[in-house]
């Protein structure tokens, strides 16, 4: 069950963080966009992995 929730979290939240990163990149600087995008993806994937096991 946790595996399914984890997969849904990754699939649902990663595009959100990618879009947020793109927005920040356009608005401020590429560096911050990358930090926001990658940070969000890493946090989401990490918490999803914890839920899976």
Residue 28: φ, ψ to 5°: -115, -95
Q: How confident is the model at residue 2 (pLDDT cuts 50, 70, 90)?
A: low
Tens of pLDDT, residue by residue over 7-52, are 777 778 777 777 877 787 888 777 776 777 777 777 777 777 676 6
Helix, strand and coil percent figures for the chain, each rounded to 5: 90, 0, 10
**Residues 39, 11, 28: CA angle, nearest 5 degrees:** 35
pTM as predicted? 0.45
* Residue 20, CA distances (Å) to 5, 15, 23, 30 in order: 22, 8, 5, 12
């Amino acid at each position: 069950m946790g595996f399914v929730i984890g997969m849904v979290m990754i699939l649902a939240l990663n595009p959100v963080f990618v879009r947020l990163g793109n927005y920040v990149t356009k608005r401020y600087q590429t560096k911050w966009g990358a930090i926001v995008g990658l940070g969000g993806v890493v946090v989401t994937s990490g918490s999803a992995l914890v839920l899976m096991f």
